[in-house]
Amino acid sequence: MVRILSITVKPNQPETKILEQAGDDLKIALNAKPIEGEANNELIKFLSKEFKANVEIIRGKTGRKKIVRLT
């Protein structure tokens, strides 16, 4: 099953966690800096563990608003 999520990230936070959830829209705090893909890697690692799925960022690799695909 493929699932598409709209995510707003807040990098450089004390811990990685979901701040808000409204359906498939999430706001996530990331314990990683937005430098050299660290925040994206942390997001992928966190979502993979949280949803037990493969995660791919399909839009927004350089911004705070992202679209990800879970498979």
Name the phi and psi angles at 63, rounded to 5: -120, 180
Q: Residue 28 in contact with residue 16, Cβ under 8 Å?
A: yes
Residue 23 structure tokens: 């359906």
pLDDT of residue 1 exceeding 90, the answer is no
Say how far residue 39 (Cα) sits from the centre of its chain. Answer: 8
Q: Which domain holds residue 60?
A: 3-70
* CATH value at residue 33: 3.30.1200.10
- CB-neighbour burial class of residue 52 (10 A; exposed 0-12, middle 13-18, buried 19+): exposed
How do residues 10-45 score in pLDDT, each as one tens digit? 999 999 999 999 998 999 999 999 999 999 999 999
Other beta carbons within 10 Å of 42:
19
Number of domains present in the structure of the chain: 1
Which tokens is 5 given?
């999520």
